[in-house]
Amino acid sequence: MPLLVKDYTWDQDESQVFITVPLKGVSARKADIFCAEDYIKVNFPPFLFEVVLCASIDESKSSAKVGNGVVIFTLCKKESAMWQQLTTVEVNKEKLQNKRENAVLAAQEKAQEAIKEKTIKKRENEKYSLEKMMKIEEDNRKQIEELKEQERRKATEELEQWKLLKQEEEELKRKEELKVARQRAEAEKRRRRRKEENKQNSASQTPNKHSVKGGTTGNIFTENSKEEIIPAPRSSGNIQIHFTPRVFPTALRESRVAEEEEWLGKQAEARRANNADVPELNDLKEEEKNPDWLKDKGNKLFALGDYLAAINAYNLGIQLNNKLPVLYLNRAASHLKLRNLHKALEDSSKALDLLTPAVPDNANSRLKAHVRRGTAFCELELYVEGLQDYEAALKIDPSNKTIQADAEKIRQVIQGTPPDS
């Protein structure tokens, strides 16, 4: 049975009450102190001190200090007044028990309300942070769009100026050509005029071509032999046209030639790379030195559920050729199955680094890389980073319903609302 402490002292002023309770050997770690609106208690076995106050106090502003064998209460009165006494006059055991139970229930209710308020405040803070972040992203997006629009206008103006200069150059060239043509026509007229004059002078000085003189006769076919000979028309024929084959399905005028050629060059370089001369790989069979064969083998092991063996196959393929993004992409999927989340992040990021530049030929691989990296982020509870990867995947394939649904679930988690089942 506990020993009730009666030899306490108390003092007061208009707004506070000070109670000093002596407890031999008391420590803050072992003492159980409870304070309610009209009830205070200190339980330090075998000692027990409890008081039902004659008036109400503000327990949120009150405090208790433990040390040097005493517990000192500093209680803040709800109403400023001088108390005639500290406790109620008569408190029987039943009333004391009711006070104790009511105080505990009230404290529990206040604790629950405080937890609810803390949860609501936490959600509001998270929502506010998300809204701020989204606003910053929106502002950045608008700024980027404005810069793009400025660049587009600048490029359009430069193109218009170039067209005007081109037109002026063509006009000057046409005028020069017309001037040269006129000069040639004038020169031809002068040449013909001189030729006619020479003919007339020759005809007046030479004898008649049809007269016979000194036994010689004139050649009546001389003029006809000077006529220009016109060649015969060319025979008809067919022109064979051979179009250059294209790797990408889009038309050349709609494609990004520089990016496509860079991507094809990287793929060709990756196919040419061969590290079979590494000493520890010399004992492999001939087919095992082929990264494509190892990729197919890893895919078969992945389909059978042997993810560790699939990772080993992809590892060997990467040792042989570290420029093939598909090996990192498939290894990231295997790491996800084994919950190696950080390794899945690294492999997905490496695959995205190799999948540059962004062209239609590697769009599907880039989509998978973003989804797998976003999944790893979400498994690590980094939902904001995961949402960014899912949104990047949606930019590649905006009509993908599965990715749209997953992105919406992540947004709900970030906003603190439970996702729809």
Question: 272-323: per-residue pLDDT in tens?
Answer: 655 444 445 555 676 777 888 999 999 999 999 999 999 999 999 999 888 8
pTM of the complete model: 0.39
Cα separation, 104 vs 101, whole angstroms? 5
Is the model's pLDDT at 183 over the cut of 70? Answer: yes
Q: What is the CATH number of the domain that holds 24?
A: 2.60.40.790
Does the pLDDT at position 374 exceed 90?
Answer: yes
What sign does the dihedral 266-271-273-275 (CA atoms) show?
A: positive
Does the structure show a pLDDT above 60 at 231? yes
- Which of 75, 108, 141 is the last residue in one of the domains? 108
407 within domain boundaries: yes
Q: What pLDDT does 409 receive? A: 92
Residue 251 counted as domain residue: no
The SS3 of residue 73 is strand
Domain-located, residue 395: yes
Q: How confident is the model at residue 218 (pLDDT cuts 50, 70, 90)?
A: very low
Residue 374 belongs to a domain: yes
Cα(73)–Cα(20) distance, integer angstroms: 6
Domain holding 311: CATH number?
A: 1.25.40.10
Query: Looking at residues 371-389, what average pLDDT do you find?
Result: 93
Question: Which of 371, 385, 372 has its CA nearest to residue 414?
Answer: 385
Question: Among 287, 411, 284, 389, which residue's Cα sits nearest to residue 344?
Answer: 389
CA distance 120 to 105: 22
Confidence of residue 416 (pLDDT cuts 50, 70, 90): confident
Residue 204's contacts (CB-CB under 8 Å, 6 or more residues apart) are: none
Mean pLDDT of 46-69: 84
Tell me how many domains the chain contains.
Answer: 2
Please check whether residue 310 lies inside any domain of the structure. Answer: yes
For residue 106, the model assigns a pLDDT of 74
In a domain, 166, yes or no: no
- Does some domain include residue 167? no
Last residue of a domain, one of 49, 78, 108: 108
Name which of 65-79, 160-174, 198-212, 283-297 the model is least confident about.
198-212
Q: Sheet of 39-44: strands edge to edge?
A: 3-4, 47-52, 39-44, 32-35
Which pLDDT belongs to residue 397?
93
pLDDT surpasses 90 at 36: no
* pLDDT for 243: 64
**Residue type at 47 in one-letter notation:** F
Other Cβ atoms closer than 10 A to 164: 10
In a domain, 30, yes or no: yes
Domain boundary among 108, 132, 147: 108
268 versus 331: the higher-pLDDT residue is: 331
Is the pLDDT assigned to residue 220 strictly greater than 50? no
Query: What was the pLDDT predicted at 276?
Result: 44
Structural domain span for residue 72: 3-108
Instruction: State the pLDDT at residue 24.
Output: 82
